[in-house]
Structure 1
Amino acid sequence: MTFKLLGCLSAWIPARRAAATPPIEALRESAAEPRGVSPARTASGLVLAAVAIAGGAVAVVRSNATWVMLVAVIVPALVLCGPAIVTAASRGSARVARRVAGVGGSIAAGNLAASPRRSASTALALMLGTAMVTMFAVFASSLTSAVGTDVRDGLQADLVVTSATADFPTIDPTLAGRITELPDVDAVAALSVTEGIVAGKAEAVGGIDPTTLPTMFDLDPIAGDLADLSAGGVAVVGDDPTLLGDTLAIEFERSTLEAPIVAVVARSTGGFEAPLYFVDRQTLDTLVGRLLDARLFVGLADGAVADADEDVRALVRATPGAFFETRAEHVANSGSGIAAFRNFIDGMLLLAGFIALLGVANTTALAIDERSGGLGLLRAVGATRRELRRIVRLEVALLSFVAASIGIAVAVGLGWALIDVAGGTEIPSVVVPWPRLAATLVVAVAAGVAAAAWPAFRVSRVPVLELAGRNH
């Protein structure tokens, strides 16, 4: 039912436009799209764009996620302003295009303004596709940076034993004791992780030894004392010291913990889903049963790194579900879980981008067919097939550049507002991956040109007299 409704809505505007076409005009072999852009349409789009920008600014200033919803009106704003943007881009790029590609560049820039609505609809698909890629790139880079910063700043252990998967603890809980018995090992701090419900939301809860773990990983306490966890308290990851003393309820599958907040810490232990709450390991085992370990932090005696490294490595290698890492390796791999998730999303976005490029190819083919008479005249006055193909490719390249640039700019602004307002302690700062965005821009332009290659080749093979004889 939803898809039928969306299909009807998407066909409503073309149907209205077709019904309003005069009968004589409808008898033409190709449509004559008006070159002018409605001032009312452009003004409406600018108003919506101002509302979107204001909503994002207020959301950041007030740290209120409700205002971020206003940013969504940027999409209809782009739809309304699309023809005006294309026309402005055509005029602004004409001089540069002529310097770069000569007369063919001027013709390509002028062709954008010849059908501003059609060009704008083509650009919109590229804008949205590029914006999705950019949004996720900003989110993933910010999250990766946050995770990596926690590990780089907090890790003090010499060696780390990690689970076989980033999602589930898989380390035998007896491994920590066996590593501790090695002669060159100074201390071992185990971390277990389970899921609990806090204020109706599922959160990761970590079980630690409050005396050993702070020597292996600095959680950066800003209020309270982690040693009080042994008395049944809870430590919270955050930046609000006034939480100290409040009672927190954590619901597990078969039990509930109601305990005072005895410490507030500035960082967690790193990882894709790092714990936001810490309790004493023995308390957690009593509530949910004996858990497998998610991570082991190993401290070595001074001067014994090389020998102990091999002993711990051999012991871990003989234990299923456990992986050995040096300190440098663990810091480098701290964002591996996010990278795997990012690769999956990139694959989905690549598929969406491919579908958008099919639309670009189809729209370009239609636009070429409508301008076949003009292209035939170019051939008649001396333009070669190669020059004709070049004009078409330059036109699509300019359109792709404008669309991708706007998509990236909009997504960076929206991503900045969303992360700043809703990132919380998990994503404390925004990181914009400029090199990746520059590569996205280049790929978007190259993909647009590739999508236009077949329509350009096809029109270049049509005989001159047939092209010139078509109405336009």
Structure 2
Amino acid sequence: MLSVRRSASAFVAVAIGVALVAAATLLLASGRPQVPDRLARAAVVVQSPEAGASADAFVPTRPWSATATAGLVGRLAALPGVATVVPDRTFYAQPLVDGRPVAADTRREDAHQGHGWSSAQLGGLRRTAGEPPRRPGEVVVDRALGLRTGAPVTLLTAAGPEAYTVTGLVDGPGVLVADEVAAALAPGVRAIGLMLAPGADPERVATAARGVVGGDGQVLTGAARGALEPRGDARTRWIGMQVLTATAALAGFVTVFVVASTFAFTIAQRRRELGLLRAVGATGRQVRRMVYAEALAVGAAAGLVGLLVGAALAPLLGRLLVDVGYEPSTFRVRYELWPVAVSFAAGPVIALLAVWSASRRAARVRPLEALREAAVEQRPIGRVRVAVGALLVAAGLALSVATATADEARIAAQYALYAVMALVAGATVLAPAVVGPVVRLLRSPLRGPGGAIGMLVRGGALTATRRTAAIAAPVLLTVAFAVLVSGMVRTTTAAYAAGRADNVNAGWIMVPDRAPGLSDRAVAATGGTALLPTTVYRTDTGKLPADRPLTALGVEPAGFAAANRALTVVAGSLDDLRGDDTVVVTEAANLRPSEAYAVVFADGTSVSLRVVAVVSDTSIPGDLLVPRAVVRTHDPSALTSTVYVPDRIDPPAGARVVDVATWAAEADAAEDRLVWLFTLLLIGVSAGYGAIAVANTLLLAAAGRAADLRLIRLAGATRRQVLWLVTAESAVVVLIGALLGGAVAFVGLLSIRAGLADQVGAPVDLVVPWSVVAGVVGLCLLLAALASALPTWRMMRHRPARSPVGLVG
């Protein structure tokens, strides 16, 4: 018969799991790309061709050249229903206020972008004061900057700080210059906006535009214009989707794990009840059906509660995701049908999956069980269970070997996660067989100040290994994931930072400060070696796919070779990298010196380059090297990312100088922050579930042991001794789970360290954030002590009959 007390723990676990799934799926459904504000008024937008990149590359589309843009604009302007055609030119421009860059939200590309004045109409920007910019040196800025018309303002550009005069103000963010100035700063175009005549049908105009554009672009209308959102926003949105997907998956996995443990413990406590049912004629199938019905009722009720809680929390969580950087500022929560349906179905599905093993055990209960009073387990784990556990452990070890030999960090992390999941499952299956040796190992600590208490704790753990293993299983899972994920993140971060620092031969490094990059003037003032990155696209169909986006670095060959310790030339000579038609490629390009290498630069022009050298794949932080002057010629807005300098200097505006170790640690600081927040989120989910599972299971155990505890009191034990007994038992169970979980995670971390050492080519230290591990174990200990001591204290409030027998401590 369904008991409210027995089903409460499963109800809570399922409700929390469904709430997380509901919130995550609602947020996932809301994560659609948004139409950029600067193009919102253009009913039809033509986008340049997509580059052949992976879904998570977030590179811009291949641009049109100035000639191709002019031809497209002329043909599109002749279409019926088109009032104005505006090529949207984008370049780097950042105002200086009080000598410091403003609007330096580096998570958004458009925070530092300037446009031509004509682009203002595409986003509906309204001029609130002054006049439009008509000549070089004139600019219109956001009124929120606090500037007045006629005032001077300095803009940071790719060339360096430039003096402008404010001729007007607008009611939105942006830097707007004369169209001819924008054309010089951004000759390549990636979007053309069409402003329609009154009454024109956008879909009809779009159909006509597709006939004009053909395969040289995409015509977008309505919500499809979300494809034009800034690459930074798209990348942030993708990261948020990975976080939400992982959270929902982990919540589902841990919920099934925890609820299965709870149902298994409940079935063990109901053996006499189930034996009575079998004694009066119930078949095994009927018992199993009854258990499934109970689980279905719990799952349906908990699913409904979890759905309502998750839906209510979704807006709050959405704002939190925006604040921490997992979603762009344009993110808004939208309620749709499919997340609601999936979440509502998740409750019963999770409960039925979780009760499957327990139902089989319940169906095997024999009528004789109704006559037994002893709670001592009658048989050890069976051979089938041992075989399954051994197979899971073997699979985990095999995956650990794959982790150590993986070529890429992302693949190694996936293998490590799967390895720990397999090892956790195997350790849980084999836990009853492991409890005995672990308890015997802890024999001395268990004696403690009171030998009798220690004896009872040790005896209880040894005679009820299944119960001990069931309570320890959530701790095992929680500690294993906490140690693995936190250790993996910290070890990987430290390893890559060390490898990055070892590859640089410089005393100091100049990096951007509150700006996306460094200007040419800032670089020239240092006299150091600079990297000027840009994106280029393959145009031939030779040994690499056409339109494949590549990172090209503009360098001075001699300085770059001196500053890069990892540089390994396998063919040709880096000294030949000069002129406007040379290139150095990596071995992955499968080319030899003197072969042709055709690319499209950021200005949309196609150039045939000549390979002069081939370097190893790990030699450069990009795909190819070209002379710095070539990058500047074809990409007027390219910004220098890094400058290697021999001595410390006073940095110009928008820059700062740091030592090599600081630069190496900060190179991926934004990524590391997001990864660590994600790590804490996953640990929080698993630790929260583990703590809830431990507390719920111990509450059930305490209720089932009332008679045993009263008997101990009758034997002469004081209330304090009984409380110490149950608290010590709980601590031992948590300690067993923590030891098993730590051992499992340690195997995964060793394999990760081995793989990292091979990738970076240097020894890697294993870094474990002990504060996180201590917090997780401490939380489990605290809740375990409270969950066992509080119900025991309530049961021990009435003093039992006197007994001459005393329990000697």
Q: TM-score range by the shorter chain?
A: 0.7 to 0.9
Q: Which residue of 2 aligns with 1:119?
A: 468
List per-residue Cα deviations over 1:155-201 (Å, max 9, x = no partner).
33343232458xxx801433xx24524xxx4334134365989889x
Distance 2:736 2:625 in 1: 53
**Structure 2 CA distance for partners of 1:24 and 1:141, relative to 1, 3 Å:** same
Structure number with larger C-alpha Rg: 2
Q: How much does 1:22 deviate?
A: 4.7
CA contact (8 A) 2:714 2:800 kept: no
Partner of residue 352, structure 1: 686
Change in Cα spacing, 1:13 to 1:265, as seen in structure 2 (3 Å) is closer
Aligned match of 2:792: 459
* Cα distance, 1:451 vs structure 2: 0.9
CA contact (8 A) 1:191 1:207 kept: yes
Contact 1:180–1:188 at 8 Å: present in 2 too?
no
Counterpart of 1:173, as a letter, is: S
What is the aligned partner in structure 1 of residue 358 from structure 2? Answer: 14
- Tell me which residue corresponds to 1:409: 743
Amino acid at match of 1:34: E
TM-score with structure 2 setting the length: 0.46
Counterpart pick for 1:37 among 380, 392, 414? 380
2:642 aligns with one of 285, 292, 295 = 295
Partner residue in 1 for 2:727: 393
Change (3 A) 1:80 1:466: farther
2:676 counterpart residue number: 343
Letter paired with 1:110: G
Cα RMSD, aligned residues only: 4.4
Question: Greater relative contact order (Cα 8 A, min sep 6): structure 1 or 2?
Answer: 1
CA distance in 1, matches of 2:359, 2:369: 16
User: CA separation in 1, counterparts of 2:489 and 2:351?
Assistant: 33
Higher-helix-fraction structure: 1
Structure 1 residues 54, 100: CA separation in 2 closer, same or farther (over 3 Å shift)?
farther
Structure 2 residue identity aligned to 1:362 = N
The partner residue of 2:454 within 105, 116, 123 is: 105
- Which residue type is aligned with residue 614 of structure 2? V
The percent of aligned pairs where both chains have the same amino acid is 20
Change (3 A) 1:234 1:186: closer
Deviations, residues 215-253 of structure 1 (Å, cap 9, x unaligned): 3443332534444555543444xxx89967399999999
Does residue 46 in structure 1 map to residue 384 in structure 2? Answer: no
In the alignment, structure 2 segments of 5+ residues that lack a partner are 1-341, 539-543, 802-809
SS at match of 1:433: coil
Q: Secondary structure at the match of 2:509?
A: strand
Give distance in 1, aligned partners of 2:590 and 2:730.
Answer: 56
- 1:271 corresponding residue in structure 2: none
Residues paired across the two proteins, number: 434
1:223 match: secondary structure: strand
| Matches of 1:196 and 1:429, distance apart in 2 | 37
Whether the aligned pair in 2 keeps the contact of 1:188 and 1:299 (CA below 8 Å) is: no
Shift of residue 81, structure 1, vs aligned partner: 0.4
Instruction: From 714, 722, 726, give the equivalent of 1:380.
Output: 714
SS in 1 for 2:528: strand
Quickly say closer, same or farther: Cα 1:295–1:85, change in 2 above 3 A. Answer: same
User: What CA distance in whole angstroms lies between the structure 1 residues aligned with 2:534 and 2:461?
Assistant: 57
Does the aligned pair in 2 maintain the 1:234–1:262 contact within 8 Å? yes
Choose 325-334 or 207-216, whichever is displaced more: 325-334
C-alpha contact 2:424 2:480 (8 A) present in aligned 1:
no
Distance 1:378 1:249 in 2: 86
AA aligned opposite 1:233: V
Of 288-297 and 420-429, deviating more is 420-429
Give the Cα separation in 2 of the matches to 1:466 and 1:288: 86
CA distance in 1, matches of 2:588, 2:780: 52
Counterpart Cα distance in 2 of 1:136 and 1:193: 34
Determine whether 1:262 maps to 2:633. no
**Aligned residue among 181, 186, 205 for 2:551:** 205
Query: Per the alignment, in what secondary structure is the counterpart of residue 379 of structure 1?
Result: helix
Match of 1:157 in 2: 506
Alpha-carbon distance in 1 for matches of 2:379, 2:800 = 26
Unaligned runs of at least 5 residues, structure 1: 269-274
Secondary structure of the residue that 1:461 maps to in structure 2?
helix
Asked if the contact 1:192/1:206 (under 8 Å) is kept, the reply is yes
Q: Which residue of 1 aligns with 2:530?
A: 189
In structure 2, relative to structure 1, the CA distance for the partners of 1:63 and 1:340 (3 Å cut) is: closer
Work out whether 1:88 is the aligned partner of 2:437.
Answer: yes
Query: Residue type matched to 2:381 in 1?
Result: S
Q: Is the 8 A contact 1:404 1:444 kept in 2?
A: no
- Which of 462, 481, 485 matches 1:132? 481
Q: Which residue of 2 aligns with 1:272?
A: none
Distance of 2:398 and 2:636 partners within structure 1: 51
1:72-102 Cα offsets, whole Å, 9 max, x none, are 5434322320211223323332343114653
1:367, distance to aligned residue in structure 2 (A):
1.2
What's the offset of the Cα at 1:371? Answer: 1.5
TM-aligned CA distance change 1:24 to 1:36, over 3 Å:
closer
SS at match of 1:432: coil
Alpha-carbon spacing, 1:440–1:59, altered in 2? closer, same or farther (3 Å): closer
1:210 to 1:426, Cα distance in 2 relative to 1, 3 A: farther
